[in-house]
Structure 1
Amino acid sequence: MCRFIAYIGNPLVLDEVLFKPDHSLIKQSTHALEMKEPLNGDGFGLGWYAQDIDFTPGVFKSIQPAWNDLNLKHLAAKLRSNCFFAHVRSATRGYVSQFNCHPFNYDQYLFMHNGDIGGFEKIKRFLRRKLSDDIYNWVQGQTDSEHLFALFLELFKQEKLHFNAENTARLFLATLREIKK
């Protein structure tokens, strides 16, 4: 199972959450007891906002295991943010590739997901038909998560709504209803 954390609050150095605590995301990824192999080693991703620079997120992804990537350790010790996502991948769908690592970003938006869309291979073509050329060409990976986000983005663009929590929740529910069709 993948593992992730989403943080919004007072600015903090990412290392304080990702590495230092006894049950940090990185330590959990090396002790995944429910797995046959107790390691989440299929890549990771980090997305953060530095709103003093602009409103688009910084993103770093790697197919290295998170617990074995010195670049992640160095970045986490120097990045301070009040809003970030971190995801450690345990691949169930799609190849081990940076394109399949979360979080996914489009403009100022970040998205990650844990779980599996049952029967995804049967509905993948249906979902892709609903995408405009812009969103269709944005999709680079094979995961159900990226396709879920793409459909959400498509609905968001069609509705031309202001981005806020209420509209996001409403459109995400609409996205899930669309998938269930």
Structure 2
Amino acid sequence: MCRLFGLSSAPRRTRATFWLLDAPDSLSRQSHREPDGTGLGRFTADGVPRVDKAPIAAYEDRAFAEEARRVESATFVAHIRYASTGGLDARNTHPFEQDGRLFAHNGVIEGLDRLDAHLGDDRSLVRGDTDSERFFALITRETRNHGGSHGRMRVHSETLADRRAVVVASERMDDHPGWRLLEPGELLHVGPGPKAAGRVVLTEPPVHRLTLDDLRPDAAASQRAV
């Protein structure tokens, strides 16, 4: 399945080179298993989101390596893709940007025809073919209509050795014992400082719990452990 990486050192700007390229299980190394797209999102010093992405594996993408070593930001969102919905195209590669936000998704959403009908006119927010973009459009719409335990990860990155930071990764990238899976229904909020707080906001299990047998073969393949 896809892999995600996020870093916040707000308000201080830093680089994410270690986790993107140099960690024992860096995003570049993981991309040998998730080869269908690479994207790096960050914010400029004046808060403008920027995304660089391509429908190729991170380990093959020279631009990704150059950006990972050069770019500074207070917030990073990076993604490597294992395609399940939508072709191998830049417009279907994560992260996505809408209304000054960056979004990346790991998983499969079925019933896209019903989701499109639910979005109605807001379907225009979706620029590609993926289920992730439809989900992002739904989040953007709901955010418009309705208005967010502290922890720090020990860092091995030289640029963060003297800075507080919160690192979020969809799988363990180094030997730090503090990494854990999020609980079902848990929302992680990272604020300035940076400070992280996790809270279970969905206490009930899904009404319709999907299994791999319920998914299309290509979608099921993208969700199997590798």
TM-score, normalised relative to structure 1 = 0.75
Aligned residue in 1 for 2:20 = 18
Q: 1: distance between equivalents of 2:84 and 2:92?
A: 11
Q: Secondary structure at the match of 1:95?
A: coil
Q: Which letter maps to 1:151?
A: L
Alpha carbons 1:56, 1:109 under 8 Å: kept:
no
Q: Which letter maps to 1:45?
A: G
Aligned residue in 2 for 1:5 = 5
Aligned residue in 2 for 1:36 = none
The answer to whether residue 136 in structure 2 is matched with residue 149 in structure 1 is yes
Aligned residue in 2 for 1:96 = 88
Q: 2: distance between equivalents of 1:125 and 1:49?
A: 30
Cα distance, 1:122 vs structure 2: 4.2
Q: Which has the higher helix share?
A: 1
TM-score, normalised relative to structure 2 = 0.61
Q: Secondary structure at the match of 1:64?
A: coil
Q: Secondary structure at the match of 1:81?
A: coil
Higher relative contact order (CA 8 A, sep 6+): 2
Which structure 1 residue ranges, 5 or more long, are not aligned?
Answer: 31-38
Which structure 2 residue ranges, 5 or more long, are not aligned?
Answer: 149-188, 191-197, 210-226
Q: 1: distance between equivalents of 2:59 and 2:31?
A: 7
Q: 2: distance between equivalents of 1:128 and 1:86?
A: 26
Q: 1: distance between equivalents of 2:132 and 2:118?
A: 12
Alpha carbons 1:120, 1:144 under 8 Å: kept:
no
Percent sequence identity is 31
Q: 2: distance between equivalents of 1:16 and 1:48?
A: 16
Q: Which letter maps to 1:142?
A: D
Q: 1: distance between equivalents of 2:5 and 2:130?
A: 19
Q: 1: distance between equivalents of 2:23 and 2:118?
A: 40
